[in-house]
Amino acid sequence: MTHDVFISYSSTNKNAAQAVCHILEQNKVKCWIAPRDITGGFSYEDLTCNAISHAKVFIVIFSESSSASKWCQAELSIAFTEQKHIILFQIDNAPLEGPKRLILNQAHRIDAYPDYEEKIKELVESTILVLRRKSKVADVGSVGCKPITMIRGKGNTFTR
């Protein structure tokens, strides 16, 4: 399993998660994201746990729907237990409540509400800095991302 980042999100926020993954990977940051990286014939739960364990950074696309998602809660719990560097990328004004509040109040937080697209560059730069500190390897992307142009429309295509 070769990835640097695990992306946790609610399926309701699929477009935001895919945009984050796309831009990170354009900047040489390897991501693991479901369902793209789920291999047929294996347990979804086992693959997800292994992917979190092997990631250096855990990004949660936080929203009202991810806050209510049992899967997102379980993934966050594993990331916390495994002492992963957690980055909270908040895309709406959902409050931090319950056990998530305890965990995510300690997380690196990027308020990306109301327009997450404007904050993806900050997320990429922060992620690259964390990865550099963790691995002390200079070939992980470059801080100072390429300009991002997003084309809205059918299929939410992302280009540079």
What is the spatial distance between Cα 117 and Cα 54, in angstroms, rounded to a whole number?
27
Question: Residue written as tokens 């964390």?
Answer: 130
- 150 against 53, higher pLDDT: 53
What does pTM read for this prediction?
Answer: 0.83
Q: For residue 58, what is the enclosing H or E element?
A: strand 57-62
* pLDDT higher than 60, residue 105: yes
The pLDDT of residue 1: 61
CB-facing half-sphere around the CA of 32: CA atoms within 13 A: 21
Q: What is the mean pLDDT of residues 15-27?
A: 97
- Per the document, the length of the chain is 160
From the CA atom positions of the chain, what is the Rg in Å? 15
Domains and CATH numbers, the chain: 5-159 (3.40.50.10140)
What is the spatial distance between Cα 53 and Cα 79, in angstroms, rounded to a whole number?
7
Q: Which range among 50-64, 103-117, 142-156 has the greatest average pLDDT?
A: 50-64
Report cis status (omega within 30 of 0) of the bond before 114: yes
Q: Where are the alpha helices (DSSP H) in the chain?
A: 14-26, 44-54, 64-68, 70-81, 98-104, 120-135
